Amino acid sequence: MEVSDDEDEVLKKVPQANLSSDEEEDLAIVIQLSLSTLSSYHHLLATVQKLAETQTTDPKGKARKQHLPGWSSWTWSEEYLPQNMHYDIQASFTALKELENYIIRSRGWSMIVVLGLGLLLHECRHTQEYEADEAGDDVPEYLGTFILGIQVGEKIEEAITRIQAKVEAILPDDYEKQMSVTKEVHMRCLENKRQVKERREAEQARVAAEKKAAEEAWMAEEARVAEEKRVAKVA
């Protein structure tokens, strides 16, 4: 989806009857919080609330065209993301890049970016939890491709850390504090990478252990069957 810097209909939330603008914004925050339990995502959502409601002036004085995924919108009503996100990992990386590269200059647009990140995280969780034999009729089978799994989830976490740094850099503050924030975010990024690596290694170890256990169980079963055949022949 291509959008300009003008805050058009993509910023509009799904109409809620009898709600004030403040109540609608509170509802939007609640919805986004429910998309993921990731602490860095919640921290980013809290940070963008400090941005101005209206956009700042483009320093180049031009209405710059930018891109966002079509589903990164309050008007997206589907329960799951488009199928192509599950069949082509490059599609998910492209969407993530569009979200990360979007130039944020107001709270409204930052909320759209955070919404997109939340929907991606939410879809990754759906994918990781998918069990074909337990899925209901309303759960699409393409979740079973597992493309939107751990690998994409890690990329989203890394992108959130970088977006956090950019948002904090444009908060109204003095230069010294901005430098302190930048250093803090850099350290947070390093820590995040370390945690991501540890989770990946732990997951790999778990998969290897399960594979080994399955192989040992198979060998034990083969030995049991062979022993039963031997005893039967002797008898």
Q: Which residue has the higher pLDDT, 64 or 65?
A: 65
Helix, strand, or coil (residue 169): helix
Q: Which residue has the higher pLDDT, 82 or 6?
A: 82
pLDDT at 75 over 80: yes
In 9-141, DSSP assigns E strands to 66-67
Residue 135 CA from chain centroid, whole number? 22
pLDDT in tens, 120-155: 998 888 888 877 777 777 777 777 777 787 778 888
- For residues 103 and 99, give the distance between their C-alpha atoms in angstroms, rounded to a whole number: 9
- For residues 169 and 181, give the distance between their C-alpha atoms in angstroms, rounded to a whole number: 8
Q: Cβ distance 156 to 124 under 8 Å?
A: yes
Average pLDDT, the chain: 76
Q: Cβ distance 161 to 184 under 8 Å?
A: no
Give pLDDT, residue 65: 66
Stretch 77-95: mean pLDDT: 87
Q: What is the pTM of this model?
A: 0.62
pLDDT in tens, 20-44: 455 556 566 777 777 888 888 888 9
Give pLDDT, residue 58: 52
Give pLDDT, residue 130: 77
pLDDT in tens, 94-126: 999 999 999 887 788 888 899 999 999 988 888
Give pLDDT, residue 7: 40
Q: Is 151 exposed, middle or buried (0-12, 13-18, 19+ CB in 10 A)?
A: middle
Q: Cβ distance 67 to 3 under 8 Å?
A: yes
- For residues 97 and 95, give the distance between their C-alpha atoms in angstroms, rounded to a whole number: 5
- CA trace torsion 124, 128, 132, 137 (10° rounding): -40
Closest CA to 187 of 214, 217, 165: 165
pLDDT in tens, 149-175: 777 888 899 999 999 988 888 876 544
Q: Which residue has the higher pLDDT, 196 or 18?
A: 196
Closest CA to 52 of 171, 152, 133: 171
Give pLDDT, residue 160: 92
pLDDT at 228 over 70: yes
pLDDT at 211 over 50: yes
Q: Cβ distance 192 to 40 under 8 Å?
A: yes
Give pLDDT, residue 17: 42
Closest CA to 100 of 192, 168, 162: 162
Q: Cβ distance 84 to 94 under 8 Å?
A: no
- For residues 177 and 173, give the distance between their C-alpha atoms in angstroms, rounded to a whole number: 7
